[in-house]
Structure 1
Amino acid sequence: MFFYLSKIFWFFATPSNLLAVISLAGLALLVSGRHRLGRAIAAVGILGILIVGTTPLSRFSMRLLEDRFAPVQSLDDGSIAGVIVLGGAVGMKHGQVKFTDAAARMTAAMELARRLPEARIVFTGGSASLMDEGYTEADVARALFTSVGMREENVLYEDRSRNTRENALFTRDLVEPQPGERWLLVTSAYHMPRAVGCFEAVGFNVVPYPVDFHADGKASDFFRPFFAVSEGLRLADLSTKEWIGLLAYRLMGYTQRLLPGA
């Protein structure tokens, strides 16, 4: 039930959707003759789109998430038992693998598989769609990894999970981590706090390996505006979803801390 309710709620809570609905509601009131109220509501929606889409607010929100875990600069390769790669990076269109904006998760997985030939690689991702698409992300990942020559005997696929909580739960049950083992967790930097929190909550301690950074990590992030409204709105959608997810998961008991990380 939580999965379905979260999908419905998020449709209306997405900043770009919410601001568009507010703007359209204002225009509808204008057309219906309620000019004063319509102008006020339309102005709120349009100004909201401009402010969120052009100012550094969404980059600042994203930066707060991404700064929780720093990029990994070096690894003791021999001490890594395995690599866990979270879904959300691939799909299928016309029978071909399609990458999302989080494609860096997959490129990192392939690079780590090359660098750590003895480590187990675990891809975790079922279907996060409300409709049956006829395939899971694990199916797509299998096709991709096989096509680039990754050693099949070293790769495990978890294909039931629909959200981050289930990623952690089902992966733990699949690999049965042993005391002292070190497992890397690969996901987008902005998503890493919630992911780490979920794995901690199920008793699976992981080493964060954040990728797919959206903020530059420079002081200029806080002052540089966007020159495409769509880019600012896109970052606002991503970061807002994550902040709401962090709060919801904490309230549901899926994590033990509101904002895991440094």
Structure 2
Amino acid sequence: MRGGAAIGAALGTLAAFLGEIRAPEGLLLLLIVAGALAGAFAVGRRILSVGAGGLALLLSLCLLTPVSRGPLNALVLAQLPQQADAIVILGGGVQCGTRTLEGSSQARLLAGLELWRAGFAPVVTVSEQSDVFSATCPKMSDIEREIIRALYPQGGPEVLTLTSVTTTRDEAARVRELAGQRNWTRILLVTSPSHSRRAAGIFAAQGLNVVSVPAPETRFDYTLPLPSDRLRAVQVVLYEWLSRAKQSVGGTPER
């Protein structure tokens, strides 16, 4: 019984890690306890044992070979940039303790500014995260504006803020409002490669004419040469699949 409970708790923890579940500590604890309770009973132990064996085989395959390269590439929508009215830089997160941008946010911001410097659009947007997950974090949009001002003290791009957003759908809704007010006919959408196809679909569903121009991936090597790169790729693929599944049943898509 104790062994089954330990396996269940471990699988709950692994699920939270691989799925990048973004939830308060209480909900994460509930997931771990639910796994432990499932493993405490004979039927649950059998199910968990089979699931753990299958998961071990799958993860071993993904760690030892670049088999996840295909699913990973299927998440990407990369198009050539075109003249547009605005460059929409999607939020990727902020480190609350150090008050700095996460790596994905930094990459997206720099990629968007490169498009502006190349003359593809005169306006860039940045995202201000809502207080849903943390009201004590600095606003991502404030940090990005500071970076832009430091890089371009004079003659920088016009910067608009998408206020109080929690998800990509929120960002799309804010951009739709701006497009209506400013008569935008085309936007360049900048996000991480693995997020690009889903994000473009969410924006297109709002009636926006989108050109997807992903930023470089900074979290891992997209060619997956190392086991660490492959593990991160598995995590990214699972996160995107879970977000699609949540969206398909009427839930709110994640960032």
Confirm or deny a common fold (TM above 0.5). Answer: yes
Aligned to 2:200: 196
Q: In the aligned structure 1, how far is the partner of 2:208 from the partner of 2:147?
A: 27
State yes or no: 1:138 paired with 2:141.
yes
> Which residue number corresponds to residue 70 of structure 1?
78
Equivalence for 1:157: 161
Q: How does 1:221-240 map to 2 (within 5 A)?
A: 226-228=225-227, 230-240=228-238
- Cα RMSD over matched residues? 3.8
Q: Distance in 2 between matches of 1:231 and 1:188?
A: 16
Indicate how the Cα distance of structure 1 residues 157 and 36 shifts in structure 2: closer, same or farther if over 3 A, else same.
closer
State the match for 1:4 in structure 2.
none
| Alignment correspondent of 2:15 | 12
Q: 1:10 to 1:146 in 2, by over 3 A?
A: farther
Go from structure 1 to structure 2 and tell me whether the alpha carbon gap of 1:245 and 1:118 turns closer, same or farther (over 3 Å shift): closer
8 Å CA contact 1:165–1:198 kept in 2: the answer is: yes
Q: Is the 8 A contact 1:52 1:232 kept in 2?
A: yes
Q: Is the alpha carbon distance of 1:177 and 1:91 closer, same or farther for their aligned partners in structure 2, counting shifts above 3 Å?
A: farther
Separation (CA, whole Å) in 2 of partners of 1:90 and 1:101: 9
Contact 1:14 1:241 in 2 (8 A): no
1:65 is paired with a residue of what secondary structure?
Answer: coil
Q: 1:44 to 1:215 in 2, by over 3 A?
A: same
Give the direction of change, closer, same or farther, for the CA distance of 1:193–1:40 in structure 2 (3 Å limit). closer
CA gap 1:120/1:88 in 2 versus in 1, 3 angstroms: same
Match of 2:60 in 1: 50
Counterpart selection for 1:148 from 151, 169, 173: 151
- Matching residue's letter, 2:75: L
TM-score by length of 2: 0.69
Q: Distance in 2 between matches of 1:141 and 1:11?
A: 33
TM-aligned CA distance change 1:44 to 1:226, over 3 Å: farther
Q: Distance in 1 between matches of 2:67 and 2:250?
A: 28
State the AA in 2 paired with 1:70. Answer: A
Native 8 Å contact 1:83 1:185 kept in 2: yes
Match of 2:247 in 1: 249
Q: Deviations over 1:179-210 (max 9, x none)?
A: 56221111112211211121122222222112
Partners of 2:184 and 2:142 lie apart in 1 by 31
Q: Is the 8 A contact 1:80 1:182 kept in 2?
A: yes
Q: Which amino acid aligns with 1:231?
A: D
Which of 163, 187, 190 is the matching residue for 1:186? 190
Query: What is the SS of the residue equivalent to 2:207?
Result: coil
Alpha-carbon distance between aligned partners in 2 of 1:246 and 1:145, rounded to the nearest angstrom: 33
**Which residue, 124, 129, 132 being the options, matches 1:126?**
129
Q: 1:59 corresponds to which residue?
A: 69
Deviation at 1:168, TM superposition (A): 0.5
Question: Does the aligned pair in 2 maintain the 1:186–1:211 contact within 8 Å?
Answer: yes
Q: Is the 8 A contact 2:108 2:215 kept in 1?
A: yes
Q: Distance in 2 between matches of 1:190 and 1:37?
A: 32
Quick one: structure 1 residues 82 and 10, their matched pair in 2 at CA, closer, same or farther if it must change by over 3 Å? farther
- Residue 159 of structure 2 aligns with an amino acid whose one-letter code is V
Distance 1:200 1:238, change over 3 A: same
Contact 1:165 1:254 in 2 (8 A): yes
Q: Secondary structure in 2 aligned to 1:155? A: strand
Supply the distance in 1 between the matched residues of 2:194 and 2:158 (Cα, whole angstroms).
28
Describe the SS at the equivalent of 1:160: strand
- Give, as a single letter, the amino acid of the residue that structure 2 aligns with 1:57: V
SS at match of 1:103: helix
Which amino acid in the other structure matches residue 210 of structure 1? P
Residue 56 (structure 1) shift: 1.6
Distance 1:10 1:196 in 2: 31
Change (3 A) 1:82 1:46: same
